[in-house]
């Protein structure tokens, strides 16, 4: 039986108050006119870690193989996944300077999820009044606020 691959659009963002500090991640997932918002927070983290976490958490929501158009305002995430990852893997998780890749466990998680889906990575300029990117940013900041209120679990 033939199953049509589902097409999903995702906007992700991460936030951090201090770097390292309290951080949050957020994502907006769009499928067939429906929207889902997810967010969460983490203590003692970095902005780059939260940007990665946003993409990981969003892709983890997908139950079946999907064609994904994933928007991020993080050049770190987009360049990492599109330009650096293959060499990191080939070099046993070392950079071109022979140093360990930062955030290796997060990159490995993201890589595994990307193998399950057809992901097209798109960069969008942050804080440029793009409605869906602004929503992902607001969700990431909601994740940070959640920590201030003493909650530690992700919110939906």
CATH of the domain at 90: 3.30.420.10
Decide if 154 is inside a domain.
no
Q: Is the pLDDT of residue 156 over 60?
A: no
Give me the catalytic one of 22, 24, 40, 137.
Answer: 137
For residue 152, the model assigns a pLDDT of 62
Kindly state whether residue 144 falls inside one of the protein's structural domains: yes
Nearest to 84 by CA among 62, 68, 102: 102
- Is 1 domain-assigned? no
Q: Confidence band (pLDDT; 50, 70, 90) for 27?
A: very high
Q: What is the pLDDT of residue 148?
A: 85
Nearest of 97, 8, 24 to residue 60 by alpha carbon: 8
For the question of residue 137 being annotated catalytic, the response is yes
- Cβ–Cβ under 8 Å, residues 90 and 112: no
Q: How far apart are CA 121 and CA 74, in angstroms?
A: 11
Is 51 in the active site? yes
DSSP 19-81: TTEEEEEEEEEEETTEEEEEEEEEEEE-HHHHHHHHHHHHHHT--S-EEEEEEES-HHHHHII
Active site residue 13: yes
Averaged pLDDT for residues 3-12: 90
Overall number of domains in the chain: 1
Position 153 scores a pLDDT of: 57
What is the domain extent for residue 138?
6-148
Pairing outcome for strands 6-18 and 66-72? parallel
Cα distance between residue 59 and residue 29, in whole Å: 9
DSSP assignment letter at 147? H
Active site residue 73: yes
């Amino acid at each position: 039986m033939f199953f049509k691959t589902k097409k999903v659009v995702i906007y992700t963002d991460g936030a951090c108050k201090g770097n390292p500090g309290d951080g949050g991640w957020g994502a907006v997932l769009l499928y067939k006119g429906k929207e889902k918002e997810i967010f969460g927070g983490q203590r003692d983290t970095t902005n780059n870690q939260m940007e990665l976490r946003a993409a990981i958490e969003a892709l983890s929501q997908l139950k079946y193989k999907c064609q994904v158009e994933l928007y991020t305002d993080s050049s770190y995430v987009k360049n990492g996944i599109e330009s650096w990852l293959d060499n990191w893997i080939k070099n046993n998780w070392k950079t071109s300077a022979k140093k360990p890749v930062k955030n290796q466990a997060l990159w490995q998680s993201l890589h595994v999820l990307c193998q399950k889906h057809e992901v097209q990575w798109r960069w969008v300029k942050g804080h440029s009044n793009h409605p869906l990117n602004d929503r992902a940013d607001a969700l990431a900041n909601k994740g940070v606020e959640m920590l201030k209120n003493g909650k530690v679990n992700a919110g939906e």
